[in-house]
Structures are given as C-alpha cells and as structure tokens.
Structure 1
Amino acid sequence: MQTKQFLIFGRVQGVGFRFFTWQQAQKIGLSGTVRNRDDGSVEVIAQGSEKQLTQFKQWLVQGPRFAQVENIIEQEYLTNSLYLQFRVIQ
C-alpha cells in the first residue's frame, strides 16, 4: 500500500474536479482525500497499490471535461494513517 500526494494546477476549481476525482477514486478502489487549496490548486492524497495510483494519475492528467490541467506535482506522502474511504474535503 502506497500513499501519494498530488498537487494539480490549472483551471481545476469550480469545474467539478473534486467530485469527478472522488468518482474516479471510487472506480479504481482508492482511499484518501481531495480538497481545494487557497492558491487555486487541488490537493489529492491517495492510498492504493502502485498500479491503482498509476491509473489514477493518468486520469488526473486529463481531469474532468471542463478542467484544464497545466501541471501535476506527485510525491510520496508519509503518514501512519490508513484511509478507509475516499472523501471530498470542503
């Protein structure tokens, strides 16, 4: 089980990015969180297998229909927590 943080930049707020990210995480079977950040980006913390996380990142690069992803920063996320579900943080 791996945990990664993805910071997504571009037109990613106000376009349904968090909802569609939650939906995609459910499909893939990931747990974690997604939230808007004050700087206009979106932060995703995702836990799953390497294969699941790779598949998820491929989706994040595209994003939902009305989003325009310009950059993604991916890094390992050190935590002792085990996320039980994937949820949207307001």
Structure 2
Amino acid sequence: MIQYHVLVSGKVQGVGFRYFVQMTAMQYEITGWVKNRSNGMVEIVAIGEQNVLDSFLVEIKRGNRFAKVQKMDITKEETSELFTSFRITY
C-alpha cells in the first residue's frame, strides 16, 4: 500500500469538493481522509495501490462541476496508519 498526502488549491471549498473526493475514493476503494484547511486549501491523505491512486488523482484534478482545481501538491509518504474507510474530517 502507498500513501499520498495531497494539498489541493483553487476553488475547492464551499462547492462540495470534499464530498466529491470521498465518493471518488470509495469508488476506487481508497482509504484515508479529506478536510478543509483554514487557508482555503483541501488536504487529503489517500492510501491504496499505486495504479488505483494514480487514477484517483486524475479524477480529483478534474474535480466536480463546481470546483476548479488550480494546483495539487502531492507527497508520497510512508504509510503511517491504516484506515478502514475514507472519511471527511473536520
């Protein structure tokens, strides 16, 4: 399993983006979490197989019809914690 830490910037708050990320992660059977940050960015921790994570990130970059992703900073990390699902955190 691989873990990515992703910071997403653009028009990604107040547009259903976290819910979109959660639904996409569940579709790809990825575990982890997503949350809004106070600086207007969205933070994601995603754990899964490499090829599945690659597809997931392509979908996230596309966003939902209300979001506009301008930039994604992606860092590959050591898997620190295993999750059983993908959740929205606050």
TM over 0.5: yes
Counterpart for residue 52 of structure 1 = 52
**Which sections of structure 2, spanning at least 5 residues, go unmatched?**
none
CA–CA distance in 2 between the matches of 1:70 and 1:59? 14
CA–CA distance in 2 between the matches of 1:22 and 1:81? 18
| Matched-pair identity in % | 36
Whether the 8 Å contact between 1:31 and 1:83 is mirrored in structure 2 is yes
CA positional deviation for 1:37: 0.4
1:1-90 alignment, distance < 5 Å: 1-90=1-90
CA positional deviation for 1:76: 1.2
One-letter amino acid of the structure 1 residue matched with residue 48 of structure 2: G
TM value normalised by structure 1: 0.96
CA–CA distance in 2 between the matches of 1:28 and 1:59? 10
Cα-Cα RMSD: 0.8
Whether the 8 Å contact between 1:32 and 1:83 is mirrored in structure 2 is yes
Structure 1 runs of 4+ aligned residues shifted over 4 Å read none
CA–CA distance in 1 between the matches of 2:23 and 2:51? 18
Paired residues in the alignment total: 90
CA–CA distance in 1 between the matches of 2:42 and 2:78? 19
**Which sections of structure 1, spanning at least 5 residues, go unmatched?**
none
TM value normalised by structure 2: 0.96
